[in-house]
Structure 1
Amino acid sequence: MLLRDVVDAPELGIRVLHGAEEVLNRPVLRACTTDMPDPTRYVSAGSLVFTGLVWRRSAEDSDLFVKRLVGAGVAAMAAGEALYGRVPDDVIDACVRHRLPLLVVPDDVPFSRVIEYMTGQMAGARMDRLQTGLARQRQWLAAVADGRSVDELLEGLAQQLGVEASLITSTGVTVAGGLELDEPALDRVTAAALTTDRFPLRLPGGITVLPVGRGLTDRIDAWFLVIRHEEIVSECVDAFSEFAAVVALDRVRRDERRRVAWEITDRTPATFAGTNSRVAVVAAAEGRIPAAVLRGLLEDVLDGAITSLDSTGRVVVPVAGTEAEVTRTLRRRLGRLVPTLRDDRLFVGVGGECNDGDPAGAVRAAASACAAAHNDPGPVSVRRAELDSALGLLSTLPDELRRAYADRLLGDVVEHDRRTDAGLLATLEAFLDCDGSWRRAAEQLHVHLNTVRYRIGRVEALTGRSLSRTGDRFDLYLALRSLDPIVV
């Protein structure tokens, strides 16, 4: 109800002592009664506070009491005349100074009668809003069933209420609506929405944010309704809250269609067909983030992308655009998830651009960058494939060429290990990782120093290469890395 509804009730006889005509249009959410010197714990935002002025001893008391009410965000104060026969001037002055509307309740009208009246009016108004909201939801659900888009319905609701609104994801991607926010504004909105403990969320600039669906839980892939307005009223919040429930149902249907598409996509490898230049993205998660959530995030962030899973469970995405553009988009949008990730981490690699001739090279490069991202600090790491290293260049070669190279240099070693389980490959890897240090390799393998010397000697005999020479050592290192299904 409005403050005006209380003042205009003739049976109550309440008068306005301070407040312009327009303040009577303030919404009142509830009634509170208190005579405590510090009313903060007993009042709430949007309430009409009734007080008998028992707390007043001096003008300083009046100023402090009113200041605390304003800090709590109350709609107005209603003072009783029973104690002093009138409202003291210092109380009126304090309300004028702090711009708090002041009503006066006649001494023959108990607060209980006013509160009972307000409760009845509010209950009736709530029932009317409930019936109106149910009717609106039925209309929206029918419209969605008839094929009308959420974008169309959201635009119609925004025009009806005289506001701008958009539906966005937790990464700041616009799903529907006409409200345009620049990147810094999206950063602020998503950061606040992902960390708040209460909705609706009010932000500077006339922005109100409402959750869609799960509310305060599972915010990593949450959706939010963002409304920009000059002065929002409770009826507007109610209408968009009702609309959010319809959007949540439509999203369930959308997610189901997406899962069906994934089942089809997963039967075939990621493809780069149909375009001259594409970039590969490979992503992995650590913690509680399911693969389905990661896939959904990437498809939202990379508009129009089609994801698949590789043999290790990583998400693979062929994307149109340049390496630099894709990397910037991923860093900006996935970076917005940082406030809500906590113990979870995201690792993303962006592979080099390529044509239809060798799409696997871009995927290998992206997988290598994704693996390297695990070494970065922070919950979100997006890395571009590095072509300024030998391994980076090696990852772009076709699989057949890499396998032929590895087989030519290490084929006899692999066969010897298969027949004898001698551990020559493991010893070679440890020796190279330890920069050719016999002692450190022995400690890493937990074997005697002479065992390492013997095994390395066998590797040299089988390969015809000397690990004392830098060139031969480098060749064997690349061959060893080429044995991996994907260079990491």
Structure 2
Amino acid sequence: MLTIRSLLFDRSLGLRLLVGGAGEVDDLSFRWVHNTELPDPSPYVRPHELVMTNGLWLESGGSVDVFVGAVKDAGAAGIVFGLRREIPNTPAELIEACRTEGMPLLELAVSVPFTAVSQAAADRYAEQRQQDLIGTVERGNALVSAVSRGGGMAGVLEVLRRDHPLLRLAVVDRFGRCPAAAGAELAPEELRSVAASLRRHPPPLEVELRDPGTASLFLIDTLGGRGGAGGALVCLRASRDLDDSEREALEQAARFLSLEAARTQLAQTIELRFASELLDMITSGAREVHEITNRIMAFGIDAQSRMAVCALAPTSSETEPSTGLAELIGGFFTAEALPVVVAESGQDVVTIFPWLRSGEALKSFAERLIDSVGAQSNHRLVAGIGDIAANAGELRTPLVEAREACRVLRMRAKGPRVADFGDLNMYQRLLGQHSAEVLRGFAADVLGPIRTYDRDRGSGLEATVQTFLERDGHWAGAAAALNVHVNTLRNRLARVTELTGRDVSRTEDRVDLFLALKADSLSRGR
């Protein structure tokens, strides 16, 4: 924006300020100049323009009050009245009308044409744009330097505040976390409000906060065009109160914050992949112990210390994806000053971390973990934990136990949110001691003939057995669930007996079928 003060300081124009308007002279600014002699120029005047007139509209019966009111309604920045031989002095009624409306009024000498004012405005605009461009380039260089030397998001805000020290800024992500701030401290409810806004489609560009009220959001894209925004640079000032240079600086900083967020996200992706490979090593048992040990040590964990394994997942009733859980879980452990391996899979997120306390203390820790992460992700989470491993070489069994406990908890509509393997039913504990290959083999031996029959004839014998067992052998209840007659159900189960040699009316045969179905489910979950 150009300033009226800069025109007044130009002695070649000979401008005089007759009415200062509603504010101080230093605060008076305008976008451009507009020359008019219409009695009502409001349809053609744009906001923040400086209106120049010789008052020819007075000679055609125009009204001073109408003219000034129209200029004010159009949002103009002020009026320049150009004197001429016919009107050597600014009309008193014009001065009074401008004073009444709070409209700045300048007087231009007879000898100075309006083109001189236009030229002066153009010169100042060019100078300002040049300064802005130089400032943008210099700030860009400083931002590049801040990011390249590892200053992170805090370094970006530091550069921005160097040019605009009055701006109060914070970076907030879609989980309500604030990785960097400068001059602003947002309360927890304000962070949640910003996070909720970022999850909207499309995200708004302003949000209402307790202090100062309306805040501007400059979006940070980390979602790869999947909708919403990964975060925002929050400026505690409404968008309408930002000038052009501030807005341009904020937009430039937001672009660099997007780059920094993408860099951080890439590093986290690589770390997650590294952790997933470690999980595969532990689960398969096909690698040498020293390879697992080296990987564990790469995460800052003493491979010879006692370690806990905790598997977390949203409950099966959750419909939203678990995207971002690993990042939130990692943030929790960072706040706890605990090194951790965080590995994300399609079914759960597994954490491995040093633990020198008791198993009961581990359950309390897991409760705090899912409370914290669940509140940030808007998920109802459950956590399964295994026995505490003596060292890195003993992680396989605790890992299997934790994941199985988590899988069982996910299927339960009610009950505890945290459980260790010892809390599960005995059949789950027994099955959990075997490898996925053994479980698949057992399931194939028992269920293989049924599956072949279903595949060849398009029947549903396996689903029939599962439904019958889930209804605790209740014939009428199972038939209703399958939407068939009880006699049809009896015929199907008779066919199962023919194919498998297991009769559902015998307890030991029913147990075989039940365990085969559970073994198959468990082996697929691994």
Indicate whether the TM-score tops 0.5: yes
- 1:142 matched to 2:145? The reply is yes
- 1:248 matched to 2:266? The reply is no
Cα deviation for residue 327 of structure 1 reads 3.2
In structure 2, the partner of 1:417 is 450
Distance 1:56 1:438 in 2: 96
Deviations 1:409-434 (A, max 9, x none): 98874244256557542212234567
Task: Summarize the Cα distance change of 1:262–1:161 in structure 2 as closer, same or farther, 3 Å threshold.
Answer: same
Taking every aligned residue pair, what percent have the same amino acid on both sides? 18
1:188-203 aligned within 5 A: 188-192=193-197
Deviations 1:325-366 (A, max 9, x none): 33333343234xxxxxxxxxxx66331455435343433444
Distance 2:409 2:189 in 1: 28
Q: Which moved more, 1:456-465 or 1:419-428?
A: 456-465
> Which of these residues, 183, 186, 190, is aligned with residue 185 of structure 1?
190
| 1:173–1:300 contact (8 Å) kept in structure 2 | no
In structure 2, the partner of 1:225 is 233
Deviations 1:422-481 (A, max 9, x none): 7542212234567867678668768775442123246579556539x9x99899768744
Matched residue type, 1:452: L
Task: Summarize the Cα distance change of 1:32–1:354 in structure 2 as closer, same or farther, 3 Å threshold.
Answer: farther
In structure 2, the partner of 1:400 is 432
Distance 2:205 2:465 in 1: 59
Distance 1:32 1:330 in 2: 58
Distance 2:446 2:505 in 1: 14
Bigger Rg, which one: 2
In structure 1, the partner of 2:403 is 363
| 2:31–2:50 contact (8 Å) kept in structure 1 | no
In structure 2, the partner of 1:167 is 171
Secondary structure in 1 aligned to 2:15?
coil
Cα deviation for residue 156 of structure 1 reads 5.5
Distance 2:219 2:52 in 1: 36
Task: Summarize the Cα distance change of 1:198–1:118 in structure 2 as closer, same or farther, 3 Å threshold.
Answer: farther
In structure 1, the partner of 2:371 is 328
In structure 1, the partner of 2:121 is 118
In structure 2, the partner of 1:158 is 161
Deviations 1:3-46 (A, max 9, x none): 422443441625251436635235545567897979599645xx
Task: Summarize the Cα distance change of 1:370–1:89 in structure 2 as closer, same or farther, 3 Å threshold.
Answer: farther
Which TM-score applies when normalising by structure 2? Answer: 0.63
Cα deviation for residue 138 of structure 1 reads 1.9
Distance 1:473 1:120 in 2: 92
Q: Which moved more, 1:223-232 or 1:86-95?
A: 223-232
In structure 2, the partner of 1:280 is 311
Q: CA RMSD in A?
A: 5.5
In structure 2, the partner of 1:129 is 132
Task: Summarize the Cα distance change of 1:181–1:75 in structure 2 as closer, same or farther, 3 Å threshold.
Answer: farther
| 1:280–1:318 contact (8 Å) kept in structure 2 | yes
In structure 2, the partner of 1:78 is 79
Cα deviation for residue 170 of structure 1 reads 2.3
Distance 1:122 1:277 in 2: 65
> Which of these residues, 368, 381, 404, is aligned with residue 349 of structure 1?
381
Which TM-score applies when normalising by structure 1? Answer: 0.67
Unpaired segments of 5 or more residues in structure 2? 283-295, 335-339, 354-363, 390-397
| 2:313–2:406 contact (8 Å) kept in structure 1 | yes
In structure 1, the partner of 2:290 is none
Number of corresponding residues: 449
| 1:32–1:42 contact (8 Å) kept in structure 2 | yes
Distance 1:221 1:441 in 2: 47
In structure 2, the partner of 1:377 is none
In structure 1, the partner of 2:521 is 484
- 1:5 matched to 2:23? The reply is no
Matched residue type, 1:454: N
Matched residue type, 1:326: L
Secondary structure in 1 aligned to 2:313?
strand
In structure 2, the partner of 1:316 is 349
